[in-house]
Structure 1
Amino acid sequence: MTNTIDTSVSTSGDAFQAMLLDSERVFQIFVAGGDVPTVHTLLPETTLIMVAVSADVSSVGIFRGEEFDGSKTFPFTPSYFPLNVPGGARILHIVAPTDTVVVIQEN
């Protein structure tokens, strides 16, 4: 995988992929408050992402797919979230109740 290293971090010997910090793959995405999603397209080779949701908003909703479906939007509260995104749709739709910035790092 691009920009990852294999590392064993579990006492049970489970292997994990660790994402390398690469500032060229960090995207600050302004999301206008409301029901209209902001779109971010993942790089073709991306398999892991880290999503950072700012504490200035109660939550953001993210939907991964070609056509936005608000009923399947997953809520993310302020924090950092590692996610696998191997294959499939490369488009993220992001909604928030108020204006905010979501930061996404791709591997």
Structure 2
Amino acid sequence: MHSWERALTKVCDIYFQSESKIEWVLAGSAGSVLQGCDMIPGDIDIYTRDRQAVEEFAELLKPFSLKTKSESPHGDNWLSTYEEPTFTQTFSSGSSWTKGRWVIEGLK
């Protein structure tokens, strides 16, 4: 089993054991693999309907959050922490995207 499969299995186990009602979809390369594409994903992208759902997912994944705030700005190396489990990025178009990022089974 690849690290992305172990990470996705862990996330799904946590989600289903929580009996949460968060609406989410698996996107990106992991979603493509599940649809039959031949590749090995480098990460797992989970999209939710809104910011509140991202925050609820962050609570479920809290065991994977760093204990202290990341020293990296909100860039490629930023990771979710207890203090800052999510961040909202606003684009010049005015749209925004709230996200969290964890390392699970060695995969971001």
Q: Shared fold by TM > 0.5?
A: no
TM-score by length of 1: 0.29
The structure that is strand-richer by fraction is: 1
The structure that is helix-richer by fraction is 2
TM-score for the superposition, normalised by structure 2: 0.28
Point out which structure has higher relative CO (alpha carbons under 8 A, 6+ apart). Answer: 1
